[in-house]
A and B are shown apart, each in its own frame.
Chain A
């Protein structure tokens, strides 16, 4: 297969997935609404004191983003698995790992990216200082693709199972911890006026590692689910 054919094939998959996502507007909004909802539960749970909210704000944004991402993951391969499209994609001459990473990219564009863009609103509602806002956007921009990549391994493993949802969270949430720690660490540092580039570089390093190895694992997990 030529490089041009590869790019064209992957472009088709990307366009198809995005078109499918935009045809279900309701599904498109759900992760965002969920993200807002979880974040607004925290003030109700811990009380409206601005001092407390300012301290936990960065963590709340990240934990909510993590949960929204994880819930959205269950649908990443499911509809394709159920209607047989996934098998056709696996039969195509395109390498499965690249197909998988393209689907993850499409998924991130409709879940991770919107969450990243609205996260500053939550941060302002929690009273985080303005210095923390660039850190929130930057860490989410680097962190949410990593969440999608790692989560897609779990989604691939559980796609063939009828009740994959809670199992998926059990598999993926422990693996999300490094991304969470680096993200909230950067926001904390930025909010207190410290440099936060080190956190960002580590997140970038993790993302590079994830982009390199996760597609192989996602491909292998899809093969297990479809052929097994």
Chain B
């Protein structure tokens, strides 16, 4: 197999150039998808026969919840790659992904609570899913706090990578145990989504919105990692050249 592509991708300079060319396209696509998905979902889909208009928060809530999980697994895999092959760029990615993931996790919790009040009559239920997202939020906070605690960037990178990998092994165990805990303590509970199939006119805007938020995440991630690359490589010739040319 040809690994040159992999090696080239790990070079901050190459990644900076490549992401710079990618950035406007990702940004425009993300904006388009989010605007179309949210406008369609919030204004033009019919109200739900049971929940009325309150269900519309799913166009924000579902992408946020999905991203909170996806970003954590992506972050942990990236951290493992960086830890094993000692790739600087991988750690930059990890440090950029953690705050994005934590924000989406918080957004999922908050929108979930706002939806829960009119639908379930309560802001918070100790439901298995809610609880495991809450724990995921704590895992994100732990990662961010650990990185802040170290003075040396290299030490912080390896420490965070270990923690992320331990978290990745633990995440399914936590998820499983929390589900078990809930069924053990209180038998039948309110299901987050009764396995009702979704109507096409709601599903398509939802999928558009999900795609939009994934692209938005990619956009924000690229912005952050480009800033991070410039910050960490500020003493290299290519960054000096780049900034010199712009000034």
Contact = CB atoms under 8 A, between A and B. Distances in A.
Given A213-B169, A221-B159, A224-B159, A178 B177 contact: yes
A178 to B, nearest CB: 4
A20 interface: no
Nearest to B144: A170
B87 interface: no
A181 B180 contact: yes
B145 interface: yes
Contact of B174 (A157, A174, A185, A213): A174
6 contacts: A167-B146, A167-B149, A174-B138, A178-B177, A182-B177, A225-B155
Nearest to A179: B177
B152 A177 contact: no
Contact of A174 (B142, B149, B181): B142
A16 B184 CA distance: 44
Interface residues of B, number: 30
Interface string A157-196: 1101101100100110111011001100100110000000
B158 to A, nearest CB: 5
Given A153-B162, A161-B150, A220-B162, 10 more contacts: A154-B163, A174-B135, A174-B138, A177-B174, A178-B173, A181-B181, A185-B181, A217-B166, A224-B155, A228-B155
B177 A181 contact: yes
Residue of B135, B141, B159, B173 with most partner-chain A CB within 10 A: B159
Contacts of B158: 220, 224, 228
Contacts of B180: 181, 185
Contacts of B233: none
* Interface majority SS (helix, strand, loop, mixed), chain B: helix
A220 B166 CA distance: 11
B142 A170 contact: yes
Contact of A170 (B141, B165, B184): B141
B171 to A, nearest CB: 10
A221 B149 contact: no
A173 B154 CA distance: 25
A34 to B, nearest CB: 23
Contacts of B155: 160, 224-225, 228
Nearest to A194: B184
Interface in B127-165: 135, 138-139, 141-142, 145-146, 149-150, 152, 154-155, 158-159, 162-163, 165
B137 to A, nearest CB: 9
Contacts of A164: 149
Interface string A130-168: 000000000000000000001001100110110110010
Contacts of A206: 173
A150 B167 CA distance: 11
Contacts of A153: 162-163, 166
B170 interface: yes
Contact of B184 (A154, A158, A175, A185): A185
Nearest to A161: B149
B163 A170 contact: no
Nearest to B173: A178
Most buried by B among A153, A174, A189: A174
Most buried by A among B141, B149, B155, B174: B149
B83 to A, nearest CB: 8
Contacts of A154: 163
Contact of A178 (B154, B163, B170): B170
Contact of A157 (B141, B163, B170): B163
Contacts of A163: 149
Contacts of A160: 155
Nearest to A160: B155
B205 to A, nearest CB: 35
A206 B138 CA distance: 21
A154 B184 CA distance: 30
